[in-house]
Structure 1
Amino acid sequence: MSAVLLFHVDDAGRWPNLLANVRNAQTAAPERSLRVIANGQAPMSLWAKGHWRREIEERISAGVRVDFCENSLLNLGLDPDDRPLGSQLVAAGVVAIADAQEAGALYIKP
């Protein structure tokens, strides 16, 4: 089995690049597991419920795991219950990234 591709986004303006990378990975290797971890300022863009949020929800529906850092949400004043449908929470994004890498995930920073 191929290693999980772990996409890390921490900048609110990086969603277009991340989404393009995820789409390309899904097309090129549909059997590969993909995971996104968002922390820092990145969640702000998806709480606006615009185009990027709709697309991330489509990626989730297509099997991509998307995790949001609870610490970042608290620091940004964002309601964790208002996260994109199907996404998950992790206590600390940096710990989740380290744990995923330790388990063999391949880190990608679009």
Structure 2
Amino acid sequence: MSDLKLVLHVDQADRWPAALTNLANLTRDYPDADVRVVANGAGVYAFLGDTDLLGKMRQASEHQVRFEVCANALHEHAIDPGQLPDWAQVVPAGVVALAEAQQGGYAYIKP
């Protein structure tokens, strides 16, 4: 299904394991799918440090999954955008990124 477009929304840190399982299945079973992940709220904490979650995110990014991190959430949680991995893109507002994705034909998934 090459026209499959999905946006996963992670706004809670404890939802990352489910999201990453979804991503592993998607990249394995639908390698041509267009997949984005928008992180906001407490979901932005997963981009810090050196964790197994980050390793799985990096692996997904190597399969063309785009990770978008809300600038507002970073500010709210006093996280410097310079601390993010180079494969994570900062977007001005996570909720707007979600709305734009849905307007662009992406199916919304909340793991």
TM-score range, shorter chain: over 0.9
The alpha carbon displacement at 1:87 in A equals: 1.1
Q: State the partner residue of 1:101.
A: 102
Distance across 1 between alignment mates of 2:97 and 2:59? 23
Q: Which residue of 2 aligns with 1:29?
A: 30
Q: What is the TM-score when the length of structure 1 is the normalising length?
A: 0.95
Offset at residue 93 of structure 1 (A): 0.2
TM normalised by structure 2 equals 0.94
Count of residue pairs the alignment pairs up: 110
Task: Tell whether 2:79 aligns with 1:78.
Answer: yes
Once the two structures are superposed, the pairs formed by residues 1-110 of structure 1 within 5 Å of their partners are: 1-110=2-111
Note if contact 1:56-1:84 (Cα within 8 Å) is conserved in structure 2. no
Runs of 4+ in structure 1 off by over 6 angstroms are none
Cα RMSD (Å): 1.0
The runs of 5 or more residues in structure 2 that have no matched partner are none
Preserved CA contact (<8 Å) 2:31 2:63: no
